[in-house]
Each structure stands twice: as C-alpha cells, then as structure tokens.
Amino acid sequence: MDLGISEELKEVREKIRVFADEKVLPLEQEYMIEIGVGDRWSHTPRQEEILNGLKEEARRLGFWNFFLPESQGGAGVSNLEYAHLAEIMGRSRLASEAMNCSAPDTGNMEVLERYGSVEQKKQWLEPLLAGEIRSAFAMTEPGVASSDATNISTRAVLDGDEWVISGEKFYISGAGDVRCKIMIVMVVTEPDAPKHTRQSQILVPTGTEGVEIVRPMEVFGRDDAPHGHMHIKFHNVRVPESNIILGRGRGFEISQGRLGPGRIHHCMRLIGVAERALEAMANRATERVAFGQPLAEQGVVMEAIADSRIEIEQARLLVLKTAWLIDQGGTQAARKEIAMIKALVPNLHVTVMDRAMQLFGAMGISPDTPLADHWTWGRALRFADGPDEVHLRSVARAELRDRDIRQGQSTAYLTPFKNS
C-alpha cells in the first residue's frame, strides 16, 4: 500500500501551498469583512473582484477541478492524489472555491458526471465545471431523523410530464448564495417500494415557482453568509419529468456513490486547517511569555503541541488509506474506513482548535484569529453527512461482521495459561 504521490504531483502540491499561503490567505480577512457591507446574501464588488481574480489565477496555473478524473473534465488525479491536494486547499476557506473544488458543488458535479443524462450535463454540469454557477444538495429535513435517508418525507408525484414536489428541507448548505442556480433534491417517489428504493433525486432550479427560502439557519449564532444554510419549503414545485437523475428509486444508490469521495475531501481539508492551527500554536508558544518563561517551556503547552502533532499524523494516514482503498475497489471496498474517518477527523479538528484557542487566551475566541470560526466549522461537520453516532454504528457493525468471519481464529487469546 503506497500512500505517497509522484514527484510531479509533489511539485503541484507545493505550488498549491504557495498559491494558498501567498495569494489566497492575504485576501481572506478582507473578503470576510466585506460580508458586513450591504446585503449579506450578495457579493460586494470587492468580494467579486477577490474571487474572480483568484479563480483566474488558479485557472492560469492549472489548479482547476482537481476532484474529477481527466476523462470527466477534471485534472486526472486519483482520490489518493486529490486527498494530498485537498489538505493544502483546506488552509483557507477561499482556496477550494478559487480552484472550483468546494462543497457542495464537488459532490453535485460528481453526481451529474456519473449519473446525469446528456441534457442534464449540458444544462448544469458544464456551467458548474466552468465555475459560472453554484449548487446545493437538499436532503436534511426538520421533521425526521435525516441521518437515516430512508426517513425522508418530501414527496414528488408525477403529474403528466412533470414532477410535483411538496415538502420541507433545512440546513441546505450553499442555498443562500445568489449564484446557487440548481439544487439536487432528495424526494420520495416510490412510497410503497422497499425502503432503500423509495427515494429519487431530482434537479430543481432555485428560481422555480413554489420554492420558498424561509430563513437562513444559524450555526452557533452565525449565518455563514453569503454561502448560508437555508430552510426551504417546496410548495407544489413543478419541474420536468426529465429532471430526475438516473431513474426512479435510485436516490439512495446515488447518495452512497457520492459520499465516499466527499468525505475524503472534507476530512483532508479539516486536516489542512488543523495543520494551520498547529503552526499558530507553535508560533504563539515561542513568542508569548507568561510567569517568567515562554509558553513553549511549560509542560502543559508542550503536551498540547505534541498531542496535536501525533493525532494529526494518525488521522492523515487513515484518510489517505481510505482514499487508496476507494481507488482500488470503489466506495464499497472502503465502507468501514469511510465511516471511521468521518467519525474521527472532525473530532480531531475540534480538539486541535480548542487547544489552539486555549493557548491564545481570550484572543483565541475573538475575531482577531480564525480559530473560533474554524472550531465552529469543524463542530458543525460532526453533523454534516451524518452525525458521529451513525458512523460509529457503521464501524461497530462492520467490525462485528468481520468477527463472524474470523470466528475461531482468536480463541487462543482467551485460553487460560497452563502451568508447565
């Protein structure tokens, strides 16, 4: 199992690091400050200037659509190779978008590329690949435990040659962005079918009559404008029958196909942010003096730095192994590991951010550093794509299934020692 990358891609990774650190990070704070200028849900002229300038530079450098194979309009890298690059992108909230590699667009583009019709690809995938529009994925609902996709209650009924959609979704990430032009909506079309074939995924343009943006949902008191996580109601929304993706009753199947690579992306970006926080911890510990000595000479601080380094290295290796397994045998071959990284990495991220905030004192929870914002992001990702408990359950069930296969092989471990 080789978890490394080629010398050529190492050079690309270093160039992305330079781009993120020298081009993107210096503009990040200015971009965020602009959110408070005018309408929070529209980009200011300066924000557009920043984003468009970064996108132009990224395209010029060839840093575009890394997440898709070359045959699908991407850069031709594997999941393992992309994982190495995603970590660097995670150093800045803007870097992924500058390279057209940000969620939820990446997952939606993968769905359209793998499962979309020629017409769907022409209408929606092409402008997404070009970075001209953005998108959302609408699955989570307020009235049911949406971590179990079979609970979804939003209905779509075929009326002639149109789907009529009625229901309610919330925490729909990206739907607040005025550039969000299309949603992939998880609905029930086959209520009497077996539970894993009741759902379908249907394309719904955001401007369709009957789509109501009820409110922006806050995360720890923040609305994450202009991206947003929106509460949406569908009031008898009509879309063409051809807007269904892959076919009736295939929604759960599509979701399983998109979540594996998506979790690799999320986890490696979080590791990238954790690395940035650890760098800040080391700098702070070296420069700050308390009780007559640098923080770096105090045992509790040294322990926090050491634990963070150890845990980041462990998490990175597990994510890279998972990406390698997906490359070798698809998401089915890595189901247990996909669940493992989703349970592990957001918790690691939150832990490292917490240590860093503690080291920075009151400044750590202020807007003067990105630490509190990053902590919030990581804590929220313990819910996104399913909460910790769902993934831990999956890991335990897989381990118990493996036990059945191994039964009898480890009985010697429990055999009492006999005196000779």
pLDDT at 312 over 60: yes
pLDDT at 4 over 60: yes
Name the one residue in this structure whose structure tokens are 């995938």.
125
DSSP string, 2-58: -----HHHHHHHHHHHHIIIIIIHHHHHHHHHGGGSS-TTS--HHHHHHHHHHHHHH
pLDDT at 418 over 80: no
pLDDT at 176 over 90: yes
CA of 317: how far to CAs of 5, 80, 310, 338, in Å? 13, 11, 11, 13
Name the one residue in this structure whose structure tokens are 């760098």.
279
User: What predicted TM-score, i.e. pTM, was given to this entire model?
Assistant: 0.92
CA of 231: how far to CAs of 228, 235, 317, in Å? 10, 13, 37
Q: What is the mean pLDDT of residues 132-147?
A: 94
Quick check: 204 and 182 in contact, CB under 8 A? yes
In the prediction, which pLDDT does 256 show? 83
Quick check: 172 and 136 in contact, CB under 8 A? yes
Q: Residue 261: is the preceding peptide bond cis (ω within 30°)?
A: no
User: pLDDT tens, 22-71?
Assistant: 999 999 989 988 987 878 888 999 999 999 999 999 999 999 998 776 55
CA distance 152 to 142: 10
- Residue 363 tokens read as 């400044």
What the chain holds in terms of domains, given with CATH numbers, is 7-116 (1.10.540.10), 134-245 (2.40.110.10), 252-405 (1.20.140.10)
In the prediction, which pLDDT does 303 show? 97
User: pLDDT tens, 150-173?
Assistant: 899 999 999 999 999 999 999 999
Nearest CA to 56 out of 28, 98, 93, 12 is that of 98
Residue 76: pLDDT band by 50, 70, 90 thresholds? Answer: confident
What DSSP state is assigned to residue 210?
T
Quick check: 56 and 17 in contact, CB under 8 A? no
In the prediction, which pLDDT does 411 show? 57
Q: What is the mean pLDDT of residues 199-228?
A: 95
> Taking each helix axis from N to C terminus, what angle separates 251-287 and 335-360, rounded to the nearest 10 degrees?
30
